[in-house]
């Protein structure tokens, strides 16, 4: 633990014990260390509850509610004596504490790290704005996140713990389709799905384009059989309702069935 800037250390020169209990799927982060769901930690000095929680392996953007000795608390609460702490993820707040969650919902703009390319593509298919910068250095991801008010998607929990991260999420599943459902549930986006509105390749918005304007870029059979086209405003990719459309529509319906 870093030296505390939070006050006179002489006030708390004797060690004290905090007990943290993690609820819901936050145990995902604890499992990696082979510990939890209740963890005891001995502290030597005043420490913010955020720092203590992250020292257990749980990034702050994953925490939606904290109860300290029976009362709601925010991340900046300073611990200075024996304390019992309950930590909840989004979707698990106890019924008696439904107000004032720590995390925002309904965010539709994301930046995904380089390991989540298929997740980014799936979310674009559903119409969400997902940047996936290449190369995806940590600093670059954080800059996009800050400057464009995006939520960070990464399985690098250390990156998610960076102090500048306001909104973010670590997909639990290693599988892109399951990750997609997790993101939609976490940010409560099931009513914001807008299929076929974004380019799967580059995230650009699609706009209707006249066949006459698209025809020079089409294969011969596509010219014959299709009349309606959309073009990506950014990269120029053309989309039409070919055989791939039915497959993608089936994928979208498969996702929708899991959003509830």
Tell me which residues touch Zn ion (CB under 5 A). Answer: 199, 201-202, 204, 232, 234-235, 237
**Enclosing H/E stretch for 253:** helix 243-259
- Smallest distance from the beta carbon of 131 to Zn ion, in angstroms? 12
* 172 versus 201: smaller Cβ distance to Zn ion: 201
For residue 174, CA distances in Å to 73, 119, 180, 247 come to 32, 10, 11, 23
- Smallest distance from the beta carbon of 180 to Zn ion, in angstroms? 19
How many whole angstroms separate alpha carbon 74 and alpha carbon 78? 10
- Smallest distance from the beta carbon of 121 to Zn ion, in angstroms? 12
What values do phi and psi take at 30, rounded to 5? -80, -35
Pairing of strands 71-73, 38-43: unpaired
- Smallest distance from the beta carbon of 224 to Zn ion, in angstroms? 25
* 108 versus 237: smaller Cβ distance to Zn ion: 237
* 1 versus 235: smaller Cβ distance to Zn ion: 235
* 193 versus 232: smaller Cβ distance to Zn ion: 232
- Smallest distance from the beta carbon of 234 to Zn ion, in angstroms? 5
Q: Residue 77 CB: number of other CB atoms within 10 A?
A: 17
* 85 versus 130: smaller Cβ distance to Zn ion: 130
How many whole angstroms separate alpha carbon 221 and alpha carbon 257? 34
Check if the beta carbon of residue 196 is closer than 8 Å to that of residue 206: yes
């Amino acid at each position: 633990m870093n030296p505390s800037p939070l006050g006179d250390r002489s006030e708390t020169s004797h060690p004290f014990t905090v007990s943290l209990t993690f609820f819901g799927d936050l145990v995902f982060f604890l499992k990696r260390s082979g510990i939890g769901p209740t963890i005891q930690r001995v502290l030597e000095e005043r420490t913010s509850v955020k720092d203590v929680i992250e020292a257990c392996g749980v990034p702050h953007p994953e925490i939606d509610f904290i109860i300290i000795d029976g009362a709601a608390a925010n991340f900046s609460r300073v611990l200075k004596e024996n304390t019992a702490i309950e930590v909840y993820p989004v979707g698990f707040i106890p019924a008696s504490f439904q107000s004032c969650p720590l995390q925002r919902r309904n965010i539709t703009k994301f930046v995904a790290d380089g390991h989540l390319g298929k997740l980014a593509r799936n979310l674009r298919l559903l119409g969400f704005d997902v940047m996936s910068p290449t190369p995806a250095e940590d600093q670059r991801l954080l800059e996009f996140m800050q400057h464009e008010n995006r939520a960070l998607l990464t399985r690098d929990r250390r990156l998610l713990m960076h102090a500048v991260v306001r909104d973010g999420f670590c997909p639990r599943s290693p599988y892109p389709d399951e990750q997609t459902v997790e993101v939609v549930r976490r940010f409560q986006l099931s009513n914001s799905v807008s299929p076929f509105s974004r380019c799967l390749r580059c995230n650009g918005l699609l706009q209707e384009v006249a066949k006459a304007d698209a025809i020079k870029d089409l294969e011969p059979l596509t010219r014959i059989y299709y009349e309606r086209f959309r073009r990506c405003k950014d990269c120029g990719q053309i989309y039409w309702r070919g055989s791939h459309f039915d497959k993608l529509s089936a994928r979208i319906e498969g996702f929708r069935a899991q959003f509830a």
